[in-house]
Amino acid sequence: MIQLKKHLVLFLCICSCIVNAQNTYKRWPDIIRKNDASWFGTPEAKKIAENVLLYQRNIGGWPKNIQMQDELTPKQQKDLLEIKKTTEETTTDNGATTQEMLFMSKMYAQTKDDRYKESFLKGLNYLLEAQYANGGWPQFYPLKKGYYTHITYNDDSMVNIMNVIRPIGEETDYYSIKPSKEVVEKCKKAFDKGVDCILKTQYKQNRVLTAWCAQHDEVTLAPANARAFELKSLSGYESVKIVLLLMSIEKPSPEIIAAVKGANAWFEKTKITNLEEKRVLNDNGKIIDKKMIPTQNANPIWARFMDLETNEPFFCDRDGIRKKSLDQIGDERRNGYSWYSDAGKEVLQKFPAWAVKNGVKVSSAVTSDQKKTNYFVVAQDGSGDFTKIQDAVYASPAFPYENVTIYIKNGVYNEKVQIPECNTNIILQGESRENTIIAFDDNFKKINLGRNSTFYTSTLLVAGDDCKISNLTIKNTSGENGQAMALSITGNRVKVVNCTLSGNQDTLYLSGTDAKHYFKDCYIEGTTDFIFGRATALFENCTIHSIKSSYITAASTPQETAFGFVFKNCKLTANPAATDVYLGRPWRIYAKTVYIDCEMGNQIKPEGWQNWSKPDAEKNSFYAEYNCKGEGFQPNKRVSWSHQLSKKEASKYTIENILQDKIKNWYLQ
């Protein structure tokens, strides 16, 4: 009997472990944002997707706060089928509808099940139908009586919607489902109307632009009340995502610039640096008390509710009576609501770079210690913080929590720049691609450090993770003197946008353990193996220019890596003298290189690929093309061991699949 009990206990423990292992993701939003794209093709994901389809109403929207992954009983499934015909509780509050649409996009990317596509498109139509003529969105649609009809910024509801329709209107690859041209145009117009609504609802104090309220009246656009404890007020939380959305718009109008300037000044004015929130937790980790502790030089925070005219923070219980301090309201509301937030710091940190980019004079309000450690200007004429780029790197904090922007004014910077491993989150931003130039002339022979001298030749070395480079020209000017790198990337998650990379042999080196990099709208030129290395890299809308007859790529992809170098919507050009150019050859035998929707000039050799005298590479490498065009695209003449992808195979080469990482959507930031 005792032995039986022991076995029973062991069995129950094993079952418990299995259950716990299967429920690693306990919250629905966490499941949606899983970074393993292939998971969305598993039976587990498909089972959850059936629930998501059931919960979607026929009108296209979903209810909020549902744990979609929870198993449904037959009765629950039957009830949901009946409710589908209604419009009960369809909303965009708390991320509802927008997050389910993202889930459906991920499911369709892996399975191509048309039900997921139809579900996504119904959700999109729901969002478009719900928009008011003035550009705002209500919290519930169809309209639900009460404060729910107000234009709702609360919990980022409207911003979430605009962040869905924007990439569709811009025809990006963020979502796997491509609507019709008519719907794309509707999304463009809806986004523009949303921006117009945002500009019109920005609150003015004595004719000075400030921030936004959580709700605005759908007719008058004036501040509006919601729940009893959510009185009309300026919001130190909801205003953040609104400003960041406006700051992300390329070529902003004078009205958008004025809105951002006003909001930034308001955030600077209303920050609180003499209080810290202390939370008291019980044994289960639940908050049982919150206290605001007076502290000198505390990190800035902002109140969720501020008086419309004085900016003074206030707090309310369910009786709707304003209080001046948090300790004056009851336990339930005090501990069950976010009354303070540090989100505003992102606006203050990003504003200086945005201001310079858009020709906005930065006021003394942003010359704080925070600005000095997170934002530097490099200018050869002495008008910035440094005259050399490397000095700005040296001044940058190690492993910062936030981005550190190094803004480089026009000029030719003849220096060798290295961003070491400790300098993560660096943004190198040039004033203009054509006139902000980093140049140096190291090459293999000049370095003369033995057989690996190539790896010391780079003009710019990026060893830090999560860096971004934009609006720059990076040159290795040594000429045709053997291996000489312009850009070397050994960190992870490095994004290069609107840059020119110029060299000869070995222009661009991409490495790092399990590293992934993203190149967008770049011009890259060289001679032999001028894009090489072991990292995974996606090149989108880039021009790849061969200076002479040779090889474009030399990948050394590790065997276990799913993607190597992927070129999408790129243009392959060449100098007149370059008449025999190969798409690639294998530096290591498991090399992977794929060209999708690219335009290939007649410099590309008919056979396309070369094995570098490595017969094993013909068995183990993966060289492929899909839907390319131009005189250089001759699929019937390619070497027999290369591949022409099917439409289904090509559909897996999405930005999300290629660049998936533990840092979600890093490539979109």
- For 138-149, the three-class secondary structure string (H helix, E strand, C coil) is CCECCCCCCHHH
Q: What kind of fold does domain 527-669 have according to CATH?
A: Pectate Lyase C-like (2.160.20)
Predicted pLDDT of residue 372: 54
**Phi (first) and psi of residue 572, to 5 degrees:** -100, 110
Give Cβ neighbours of residue 397 (< 8 Å, ≥ 6 apart).
Answer: 373, 374, 404
- Any idea which of 31-35, 315-319, 405-409, 467-471 has the lowest mean pLDDT? 31-35
**pLDDT of residue 329 exceeding 90:** no
Pairing assessment for the beta strands 302-303 and 340-341 based on DSSP bridges: antiparallel
- Any idea which of 242-256, 335-349, 368-382, 604-618 has the lowest mean pLDDT? 368-382
**pLDDT of residue 19 exceeding 50:** no
Residues 45-58 pLDDT 10s: 999 999 999 999 99
- Separation of alpha carbons 168 and 660, rounded Å: 20
Residues 252-300 pLDDT 10s: 999 999 999 999 999 999 999 888 888 887 777 777 788 888 887 788 9
Predicted pLDDT of residue 219: 95
> Which residues are the active-site residues?
506, 529
Residues 448-457 pLDDT 10s: 999 999 999 9
Angle ∠(160,166,167) on CA atoms, nearest 5: 110
Percentage of residues in the chain having pLDDT higher than 70 = 94
Residues 53-80 pLDDT 10s: 999 999 999 999 999 999 999 999 999 9
Predicted pLDDT of residue 511: 94
The answer, yes or no, to whether the previous bond of 142 is cis (omega within 30 of 0) is yes
- Separation of alpha carbons 398 and 420, rounded Å: 9
- Any idea which of 329-333, 481-485, 513-517, 619-623 has the lowest mean pLDDT? 329-333
- Residue 368's pLDDT band (cuts 50, 70, 90): very low
**Phi (first) and psi of residue 487, to 5 degrees:** -130, 130
Residues 89-139 pLDDT 10s: 999 999 999 999 999 999 999 999 999 999 999 999 999 999 999 999 999
Predicted pLDDT of residue 512: 84
- Separation of alpha carbons 669 and 653, rounded Å: 20
The CATH classification of domain 32-142+157-199, taken from the options 3.30.390.30, 1.50.10.20, 3.20.80.10, 1.10.600.10: 1.50.10.20
Of 260, 224, 246, 218, which is closest to residue 159 (Cα–Cα)?
A: 246
**pLDDT of residue 333 exceeding 90:** no
Predicted pLDDT of residue 246: 97
Could you tell me if residue 82 is left (phi over 0), alpha (psi between -120 and 50 degrees) or otherwise beta? alpha
**Which of the two residues, 252 and 6, has the higher pLDDT score?**
252
Give Cβ neighbours of residue 605 (< 8 Å, ≥ 6 apart).
Answer: 580, 581, 582
Predicted pLDDT of residue 27: 86
Structure tokens at 157: 């509801």
**pLDDT of residue 175 exceeding 60:** yes
Predicted pLDDT of residue 244: 97
**pLDDT of residue 360 exceeding 50:** yes
Query: CB neighbours (10 Å) of residue 510?
Result: 24
Domain ranges of the chain: 32-142+157-199, 202-367, 527-669
Query: CB neighbours (10 Å) of residue 276?
Result: 15
204 three-class SS: strand
- Separation of alpha carbons 161 and 116, rounded Å: 19
Of 416, 475, 420, which is closest to residue 447 (Cα–Cα)?
A: 416
**pLDDT of residue 169 exceeding 50:** yes
**Which of the two residues, 482 and 369, has the higher pLDDT score?**
482
**pLDDT of residue 594 exceeding 90:** yes
Mean model confidence pLDDT for the chain = 91
- Separation of alpha carbons 234 and 392, rounded Å: 37
**pLDDT of residue 16 exceeding 70:** no
Read off the DSSP letter of residue 167: H
Say if CB 260 and CB 246 are below 8 A apart. Answer: yes
623 three-class SS: strand
- Looking at domain 202-367, its CATH architecture is Alpha/alpha barrel (1.50)
Residues 543-576 pLDDT 10s: 999 999 999 999 999 999 999 999 999 999 999 9
Predicted pLDDT of residue 8: 39
**Phi (first) and psi of residue 43, to 5 degrees:** -60, -35
Task: Let me know if the fold of 32-142+157-199 is the same as that of 527-669.
Answer: no
Alpha-helical (H) ranges within 338-451 are 345-357, 369-374, 389-395, 444-447
Angle ∠(158,161,167) on CA atoms, nearest 5: 135
Of 148, 349, 149, 314, which is closest to residue 243 (Cα–Cα)?
A: 349
Give the pLDDT mean for 18-37: 65
Angle ∠(410,384,301) on CA atoms, nearest 5: 115
**Phi (first) and psi of residue 66, to 5 degrees:** -105, 130
**pLDDT of residue 369 exceeding 70:** no
Q: How many CA atoms lie within 13 Å of 530's alpha carbon, on the beta-carbon side?
A: 28
